[in-house]
């Protein structure tokens, strides 16, 4: 594998992938939405056939979890129907497809308290999770050389895109403005730093051990605990208190527990990702550099 097409290249994970591919001596072929809209099936086919990549990584997604409850057609168009097309196109080109999915394919089991493995039955709750799961099934059915990589709680390097504004920056901005902050304590997951996930994906791509994988930073925490660690590691005083998902009242349901077991990824030969806390510390030191 040398030339690797990255779809959704302007996104959090897409931009990290382009950088890691360059660092590892591979040749990224980045496609932003303007250059390749996955919902344009014929255009996707023609563009990829012309680019002649050795592998394709799809990070494009409809990610507005709450809005998806109303925009069902749009969510499924990007997260499932377009992914079916990508699976067919990459299969016809006989190149591997890496497709990125989410911990939100789990969550329906309210009593769960141990990390999910790849053999656990999925149980999505809302439109977003259902549309992403449908996308996974298309890839697994139509693209023989596939890696489906589920991750969680992504945040990117500060300043890597013009858009900016991830959870960490939002917390720091609100604390600096002297606002009191309430953050949910009943959603437990593993926040994951996109450069770490990108490095794992690029390693995985070189294994030819096709299949379904879970890939996150190590350990777990609630969003409330994550916010606490942000302030602690940044040395910022903040008026932080816990709240509940019910009190917060978002439109779409979210998993109470969606920690992903990474054992299979490590067994495939991919270096374990560092703990979420170490990744957060790295993010913050890079931010202040
Ligand atoms: N963010 C998370 O917390 C999280 C957690 C678990 C899994 N994931 C998964 O990780 C992957 C990457 O997420 P991310 O956080 O990097 O998302 P992101 O920053 O929003 O990046 C997604 C990119 O895809 C582009 N895109 C959207 N619709 C497209 C289309 N029809 N054709 C081509 N490109 C399109 C977006 O462009 P525009 O900006 O122009 O819309 C954006 O640049 C997704 O598969 C997501 O489901 C994310």
- Residue 255 has what pLDDT? 97
Burial class (CB in 10 A: 0-12, 13-18, 19+), 33: middle
User: Where are any strands of DSSP class E within the chain?
Assistant: 3-7, 27-31, 55-58, 97-102, 146-151, 154-155, 180-184, 188-189, 192-193, 211-214, 221-222, 239-243
- Residue 165 has what pLDDT? 73
- Residue 163 has what pLDDT? 57
Q: d(Cα 65, Cα 208) in Å, to the nearest integer?
A: 32
Ligand 1 atom nearest to 77, measured from its CA: 31
Hey, whose CA ends up nearest to atom 10 of ligand 1?
Answer: 100
- Reported confidence tier of residue 274, pLDDT bands at 50, 70, 90: very high
- Reported confidence tier of residue 46, pLDDT bands at 50, 70, 90: very high
CB distance 59 to ligand 1 below 6 Å:
yes
Hey, whose CA ends up nearest to atom 1 of ligand 1?
Answer: 154
Q: d(Cα 2, Cα 15) in Å, to the nearest integer?
A: 18
């Amino acid at each position: 594998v040398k030339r690797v097409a990255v779809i959704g290249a302007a996104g959090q994970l897409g931009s990290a992938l382009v950088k890691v591919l360059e660092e590892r001596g591979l040749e990224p072929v980045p496609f932003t939405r303007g250059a390749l809209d996955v919902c344009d099936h014929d255009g996707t086919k023609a563009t990829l056939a012309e680019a002649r990549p050795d592998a394709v990584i799809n990070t494009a997604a409809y990610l507005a979890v709450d809005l998806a409850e109303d925009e069902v057609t749009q969510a499924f168009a990007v997260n499932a129907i377009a992914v079916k097309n990508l699976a067919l196109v990459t299969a016809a080109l006989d190149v591997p497809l890496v497709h990125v999915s989410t911990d939100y394919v789990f969550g329906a089991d309210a009593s769960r308290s141990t990390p999910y493995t790849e053999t656990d039955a999925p149980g999505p709750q809302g439109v977003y999770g259902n549309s992403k799961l449908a996308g996974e099934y298309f890839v697994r059915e139509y693209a023989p050389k596939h890696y489906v990589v589920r991750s969680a709680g992504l945040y990117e390097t500060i300043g890597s895109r013009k858009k900016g504004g991830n959870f960490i920056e939002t917390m720091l901005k609100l604390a600096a403005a002297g606002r009191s902050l309430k953050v949910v304590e009943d959603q437990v997951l593993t926040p994951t730093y996109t450069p770490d996930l990108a490095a794992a994906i690029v390693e995985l791509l070189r294994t030819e051990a096709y299949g379904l994988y879970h890939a996150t930073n190590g350990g777990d925490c609630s969003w409330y605990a994550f916010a606490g660690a942000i302030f602690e590691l940044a040395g910022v005083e903040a008026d932080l208190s816990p709240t509940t998902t019910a009190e917060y009242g978002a439109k779409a349901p979210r998993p109470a527990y969606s920690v992903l077991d990474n054992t299979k990824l490590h067994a495939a030969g991919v270096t374990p990702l560092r703990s979420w806390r170490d990744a957060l510390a790295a993010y913050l030191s890079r931010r202040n550099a």
